[in-house]
Structure 1
Amino acid sequence: MTAEKQTSRTAKILYRPWGLIGSVIGGVIAGQLFQQVWKRVDPEATQDPPKPLQSEYRLRKILLAAMLQGAIFSVVRALIDRGGARAFERWTGEWPGD
């Protein structure tokens, strides 16, 4: 079990802009990564992955696309959030979370 790191109110406030920028960058990276993964999962796809309201696709394909997209976005967000928090801690000496 590791000791919980202390966070000051100032650290949380100072981290917010960094966190927002990281979220935007993470969204772009995750979107690009998802497009590449989807091309491999569905090699015959000529367009973007199916969306829930596109009636020409089977539900199975829509759910697979949603599951992959959600998993990729969650992993990328976790990596960027954690990396950003660690970098912030190295620069300031304070952990921005909790």
Structure 2
Amino acid sequence: MSTVSKAFYKPLSLGMSVLGGLLAGVVFKQVWKYVGDNDVEAPDPKDLNRSVQEVLIAAAIHGAVFGLVKAAVDRAGATGYRALANEDPK
């Protein structure tokens, strides 16, 4: 990757990461509304009034959603970069 290409890809990648994080948060909240017994907020691991099972399920779903969205956003960014720069962003 050329120096100009690297300089272009870094801010693009950073912006895509921020958007991906925001999107993942929205997706997780929607999933949790469906899974979490009508709780709007996922349980805080330090909230001892919530069950261990509920906290661990929320953490697993949170991790899966963020991982999936991050991979999708990274892939979309790399594909878009390749379309614009005619090279892979490695």
Length-normalised TM-score, structure 1:
0.84
Q: Which runs of 4+ in 1 moved over 6 A?
A: none
Q: Give a deviation string over 1:10-58, Cα, whole Å, max 9, x none.
A: 233321100110010001110000000001002331x410011111111
Q: Percent sequence identity over matched residues? A: 37
For CA contacts below 8 A with separation 6 or more, give which structure has more relative contact order.
1
Hey, which of these two has a bigger chunk of helix by percent?
2
Q: Which runs of 5+ in 2 are unaligned?
A: none
Q: Which residue, out of 61, 64, 73, partners 1:80?
A: 73
Tell me by how many angstroms 1:9 deviates. Answer: 4.5
1:1-98 to 2 correspondences below 5 Å: 8-10=1-3, 11-45=5-39, 47-97=40-90
User: Which residue identity lines up with residue 69 of structure 1 in the other structure?
Assistant: H
- Provide the rounded CA distance (Å) in 2 between the counterparts of 1:28 and 1:14: 22
- Provide the rounded CA distance (Å) in 2 between the counterparts of 1:82 and 1:44: 33
Alignment root-mean-square deviation, CA: 1.2
Length-normalised TM-score, structure 2:
0.91
How many correspondences in the alignment? 89
User: Which residue identity lines up with residue 62 of structure 1 in the other structure?
Assistant: V
